[in-house]
Amino acid sequence: MVSCARGLRPAVFLDRDGVIVIPHFQNGRSFAPRRLEDFRIYPDAAASLDRLKQRGFLLAVVTNQPDVGQGMILQSEVDAMHERLRRELPIDMLKACFHRQDENCDCRKPKPGMILAAAGELGVDLTKSFMVGDRNSDIEAGHAAGCTTVFIDLGYDEAPPDAPDHIVRSVAEATDVILGTTPTTQGAA
């Protein structure tokens, strides 16, 4: 188990699409699934998140879902997807921003609003926590919140983040990096 001062616990914040959910790819870009029947969790996600839980990490999904704000998908469809994540993965919290980019809200990544809100509600030590994402906005939000960042490079046709702390190719590799860089207390699994 990982221990932190002041009773706060470490967490792993995870983006949804491209990290634990398989996105749709088109012309070098990724897109969130828009129908529940197209919603697929990466095969290694559950085992990876289980490993993190066993080591004492809280797990929070923080996801931008602007397709709702743009009227491309109903929020009820996204809610059904998120209920499936809660059933199938050992997550402690899920935060979603449904705003469009032009609304300039505080919750939409690259701003750290969702991370900070989840950290406050869960009692998280951000200095001992990680943000895992597949886009520049995820890495910027993680840095702004004070987390160590892990970039999952899926080869998108867009600018990669400037300075992620780690670069990997999957959530399983991200888990290996997190567990490999985190000190454990005696008797931890």
The confidence score (pLDDT) of residue 189 equals 37
Asked if residue 110 is part of any domain, the answer here is yes
| Domain presence at residue 186 | no
- pLDDT of 36-87, one tens digit each? 999 999 999 999 999 999 999 999 999 999 999 999 999 999 999 999 999 9
Report whether 40 contacts 167 (CB < 8 A): no
pLDDT the model gives residue 187 = 36
| 81, two tokens | 């997807």
The total of structural domains in the chain comes to 1
Alpha-carbon distances of 179 from 10, 31, 77, 130, 173, rounded to whole Å: 12, 29, 34, 11, 10
Residue 93, pLDDT > 60, answer yes
Residue 96 has pLDDT above 90, yes or no: yes
pLDDT in tens, 174-184: 999 999 987 65
How confident is the model at residue 186, as a pLDDT? 32
Q: Answer whether residue 49 is part of any domain.
A: yes
Instruction: Tell me which of 73 and 6 has the higher pLDDT.
Output: 73
CA distance 24 to 40: 10
What band does 107 get if pLDDT is binned at 50, 70 and 90? very high
CA distance 108 to 114: 7
The pTM for the full model equals 0.92
Give the domain CATH number at 128: 3.40.50.1000
Do residues 48 and 96 make contact, with C-beta atoms less than 8 angstroms apart? no
Predicted local distance difference test score (pLDDT) of residue 126? 98
- Averaged pLDDT score across all residues of the chain: 92
> In the predicted model, what is the mean pLDDT of residues 12-38?
93
Beta strands at 29-31 and 24-26: parallel, antiparallel or unpaired:
antiparallel
pLDDT value at position 26?
A: 85
For range 6-25, the mean pLDDT: 94
Identify the helix (H) or strand (E) that includes residue 116. Answer: helix 113-122
Q: 189 lies in a domain?
A: no
In a domain, 67, yes or no: yes
Q: Is 87 within the bounds of a domain?
A: yes
- Is the pLDDT at 185 greater than 70? The verdict is no
Which range of residues forms the domain containing residue 39?
5-181
Does 127 map to a domain?
Answer: yes
Which amino acids are annotated catalytic? Answer: 15, 17
Whole-Å CA distances, 124 to 6, 37, 63, 93? 10, 34, 18, 12
Question: For 27-37, what is the mean pLDDT?
Answer: 90
Q: Within a domain: residue 66?
A: yes
pLDDT class of 4 with cuts at 50, 70, 90 = low
